[in-house]
Amino acid sequence: MSKEVASGMSGDFRTLRISSLDEEEENEVKVDDDCDEDDEEDNDDEEQVPVTLGFLEKPKNWWSLLRQLFPSKAGGVPAWLDPINLPSGRSCVCDFCGEPLQFLLQVYAPLSEKESTFHRTLFVFMCRSMSCLLQDQHEQWKHQEEKASRSVKVFRCQLARSNPFYSSEPPRHDGTDKPSGIEAALCNWCGTWKGDKVCSSCRRARYCLEKHQSMHWRSGHKIDCQQLSIPPQSSDSSPGNIASKTLWTQYEIINEDECEFDTEMSEDHEYANALVSGNRMDDTFKSLLDNFEVWIAKPMILELYLSA
């Protein structure tokens, strides 16, 4: 590594300069000029690929993250694009520990070139266990042909402009937009996955797994269950009624083109728009930073789906 690189890593990254190989090695083997020209053309093509940056902000209005507004969001519960046909079975759980995956974020990424992708959202889920994330990384190193186990999963959902769930007209974004009344009943504990199991006593509460039913029972449903008399079809699993207290804080993802982003923003403004503010750097986040190299490869899955 050259002195310029070493000094740049210890100081301001804006002053970082990587010296050419000619400066590093005097006896370098020469490469054909044609190859160099091809490489330059490839680099030019790569530079033209647009990049969108996402910043987490508290939503200005509670309704802005509802599914009929096609939000990009992080934390909380997913705003399913297709509220009926949800992932099920083994797709919903970590392949290592068998626990239900927790919602991390979703990105609204429509493709206008095709009618079938007029609406298109990518959903990212992950296991809360760092042990499972480590095992996932080791699985990726194996390069095995059979289906590998995963603790981070990405789902893609897309709809045509004319569909049973939303108006073909753009949303008004004034709080009056309404989706169709058709939607699957979700788990009352996690608010994420389809609630196929029903409480045998009140016949109202629904769950995706028996474990979530047990956790809800111990957290207070044992008492509430005796007081419920609402028919089972009116099960309420809206975000405000989710029993679990372990969901990540909900934020709206604000998109901005990289070319328009001010790279010379002040340090204070930069921290104000960071994914996690400096004064909220708790032990859990520090632990994630320590293991960041382990699961930083996961967002690459998104790139595959974005180009699909």
Spell out the alpha helix ranges (H) of 78-129.
Answer: none
pLDDT at 99: 93
Confidence grade of residue 295 (pLDDT, cut at 50, 70, 90): very low
pLDDT at 185: 92
Average of per-residue pLDDT across 48-75? 91
Confidence grade of residue 20 (pLDDT, cut at 50, 70, 90): very low
- Helix H or strand E encompassing 10: helix 3-10
pLDDT at 303: 37
Range name among 2-11, 116-125, 148-157, 187-196 with the lowest pLDDT average = 2-11
Average of per-residue pLDDT across 224-235? 59
Q: What share of the chain is helix, strand, coil (3-state, %, to 5)?
A: 35, 15, 50
Q: How many CB atoms lie within 10 A of CB 93?
A: 19
Burial of 42 (0-12, 13-18, 19+ CB in 10 A): exposed
Tokens of 65: 């993250």
Residue range 62-114, pLDDT digits in tens: 899 999 999 999 999 999 999 999 999 999 999 999 999 999 999 999 998 99
Residue range 22-47, pLDDT digits in tens: 444 444 444 455 555 566 656 655 56
Q: How do the domains of the chain map onto residue ranges?
A: 52-180+248-306
Q: Convert 140-162 to b/e letters by CB count within 10 Å (16 or more is b).
A: eeeeeeeeeebbbbbbbbbbeee
Q: Which of 1-10, 99-108, 204-213 has the highest mean pLDDT?
A: 99-108
Confidence grade of residue 191 (pLDDT, cut at 50, 70, 90): very high
pLDDT at 34: 56
Tokens of 210: 């028996």
Q: Are 185 and 195 in contact (CB under 8 A)?
A: yes
Q: Which residue has the higher pLDDT, 266 or 88?
A: 88
